[in-house]
Structure 1
Amino acid sequence: MRRDIVHIALMAGGALWLAGCGMADIRSPVPEFMRAKAPEPAPLEAPPDVRRMLSEKLDSVFTSASHPEHVRVSEPRHNLRGPGWTACVRAELTSVIGKPLGTQTYRITIADGVVSDRRQIEADDTCVTESYEPI
């Protein structure tokens, strides 16, 4: 009986010890040949034609009630926070009650050829230093 318990304990300890060998990820402190291979980064998609996208579908960024005029866009940049692209868009806008809002700038996120997000920029945003082209 005592012998069986010792065998079971040794088998369980050996199984745990061997199981630890297969769990070395790319950041483990083990020799290089024992680490898992780092995954290949996803290939970058081609930069979108932001000018064409916005000329065809301007309501993806601005509401029709804002009457956007003098719309200008920056060159698309690869999104550092994930897949896709970002660009900056500027336009002269009008409020819902007809009062001019002046020039407003937005950062748009483009994923799979579609504008997926738009946010008004803040004072320290890089859109302030971008160069813009009319659409």
Structure 2
Amino acid sequence: MRRIGVHIALVAGAALMLAGCGFADVRAPVPDFMRGKAPDPPTLGTPPDVKMLLRQKLDSVFMAASQPTHVRVSEPRPNLRGPGWTACVKAEVVSVTGKPLGTQTYRIEISDGVIADRQKVEAEDTCTSESYEPV
């Protein structure tokens, strides 16, 4: 009876020790052969037709009351912060009272063929160095 208890204890101890074995995370500070394989980056596919998206949904970037004119767009680039694409959009806009505000530039994020987000461009953004084409 005592012998069975010792065997159970040994098997349980061996199981606990082996439970700690396995591959470590990709960023773990262990030798390379002990690390798991890094996941492959997702494939992007073909760039979206940003001009067509803007023609269909310009109000997702500029308010209709701002009466955007001379709309221009840059080439789409892969989004560095996540899946999808980004592009820069410029247009001449007016305020609600009709006063010209000048050129406004936005960075848009395109995901699954739709404009998912827009953000106003800051001075240090890369949109300032992009080349633009009319929509």
Q: Distance in 1 between matches of 2:6 and 2:31?
A: 31
Q: Answer yes or no: is 1:97 the counterpart of 2:97.
A: yes
Q: Residue 69 of structure 2 aligns with which residue?
A: 69
Q: Residue 15 of structure 2 aligns with which residue?
A: 15
Q: Which runs of 5+ in 2 are unaligned?
A: none
Q: Distance in 2 between matches of 1:100 and 1:131?
A: 24
Stretch moving more, 105-114 or 38-47: 38-47
Q: Residue 131 of structure 1 aligns with which residue?
A: 131
Q: Distance in 1 between matches of 2:70 and 2:51?
A: 13
After superposition, residues 12-51 of structure 1 pair within 5 angstroms as 12-28=12-28, 29-30=30-31, 32=33, 34-51=34-51
Q: Distance in 2 between matches of 1:97 and 1:27?
A: 55
* Alpha-carbon offset, residue 30 of structure 1: 4.6
| TM-score normalised by length of structure 2 | 0.87
| TM-score normalised by length of structure 1 | 0.87
Q: Which runs of 5+ in 1 are unaligned?
A: none
1:47–1:31: structure 2 CA closer, same or farther, 3 Å change rule?
closer
What are the superposed Cα offsets for residues 62-107 of structure 1, whole Å, 9 maximum, x if unpaired?
Answer: 1110000000000001000000000000000011111111000000
Q: Distance in 1 between matches of 2:68 and 2:85?
A: 23
CA RMSD of aligned residues (A): 2.0
Is contact 1:24–1:36 with CA below 8 Å preserved after alignment?
Answer: yes
Q: Answer yes or no: is 1:82 the counterpart of 2:70.
A: no
Q: Once the two structures are aligned, what percentage of the paired residues are identical? A: 68
Q: How many residues align?
A: 134
Is contact 1:89–1:106 with CA below 8 Å preserved after alignment?
Answer: yes
Is contact 1:24–1:30 with CA below 8 Å preserved after alignment?
Answer: no
Q: Answer yes or no: is 1:120 the counterpart of 2:120.
A: yes
